[in-house]
Copies of this chain bind each other. A is one copy, B any other.
Amino acid sequence: MSSHGTRADRGARGERDTVVFDVDGTLVDTNYHHALAWFRAFRRVGVTPPVWRIHRAIGMGGDQLVGAVAGREVEEVHGDVVRAAWAEEFAPMLDEVPAFAGARELLTETRARGYRLVLASSGKPEHVDRYLDLLDGRSLADAWTTAEDAERTKPAPDLVAAALERVDGGRAVVVGDSVWDCLAARRLGLPALAVRTGGFSADELVGAGADAVYEALPDIGADLDRLPLAPAHPR
């Protein structure tokens, strides 16, 4: 069975032919490291947000996170300083970030079933480089993105849209870990599968529009044959 044949069959049945994977928190275990790096970055400018509030904002773009966590005034006065500090605080943690168990296998399986595969990261290019290494992403994915590929960050859908453009559109499903991934997918009328690996609860993910919630990546594999789980038309 060639992957092209599979792809055409799916198309004929009105099913999905492309899977867009979020990377941070979905394929690599970074959300808690990011939360602590942001906490330390905020403290450098004398702001002490509760870490759980930061955690819930992880997955938004850094350009939106500072204001969302600490308010517009902190963003206006300290936003760029906090973002620079975050990069410094996260840098020494990059090497301890692992891929989630089953991540490479899921990417391999997704591709073997004929889906086009896009890794839509909003991470810094130097971080995405590391993650692509961990995931064999350069050989498995049809395309990938970094923060530099979209003007507006999640929950705006631009990054997912940019990811889809890389593979000429397609009928995609989005796999992510955060409410922001689900909201971005929803704005594009795409179904979203969510994994709990980012630390959001099932309830929070469903509330943000997830069509299905999985405990871990390997649980998605079994459902690859029955994508989509949601109607194809925009909601």
Contacts and interface: CB of A to CB of B under 8 A. Distances in A.
13 contacts: A29-B51, A32-B32, A32-B36, A32-B51, A32-B55, A33-B51, A36-B36, A50-B100, A52-B197, A52-B198, A55-B199, A201-B201, A203-B203
A51 B36 contact: no
A205 to B, nearest CB: 10
Nearest to A35: B32
Nearest to A99: B48
Interface of A: 29, 31-33, 35-36, 39-40, 43, 48, 50-52, 55, 96, 98, 100-101, 196-204, 216
A43 B96 contact: yes
Taking the full assembly, how many copies of this chain does it contain?
2
A51 B197 CA distance: 8
Q: Give the interface centre of A29, A48, A50, A196 by most chain B CB atoms within 10 Å.
A: A50
A42 to B, nearest CB: 11
A203 B196 CA distance: 14
A189 B196 CA distance: 31
Contacts of A96: 40, 43
Given A43-B96, A52-B199, 10 more contacts: A32-B52, A32-B55, A36-B36, A40-B96, A48-B98, A52-B198, A200-B201, A201-B201, A201-B203, A201-B204
Contacts of A39: 32
Q: Give the interface centre of A35, A198, A216 by most chain B CB atoms within 10 Å.
A: A35
A29 B29 CA distance: 21
Nearest to A54: B32
Contacts of A52: 31-32, 196-199
A96 B32 CA distance: 16
A47 B202 CA distance: 25
A-B complex: 4 closest residue pairs judged by Cβ atoms: A201-B201, A203-B203, A52-B199, A32-B51
Nearest to A25: B52
Contacts of A98: 48
Nearest to A206: B203
Given A32-B35, A32-B36, A32-B39, A51 B199 contact: yes
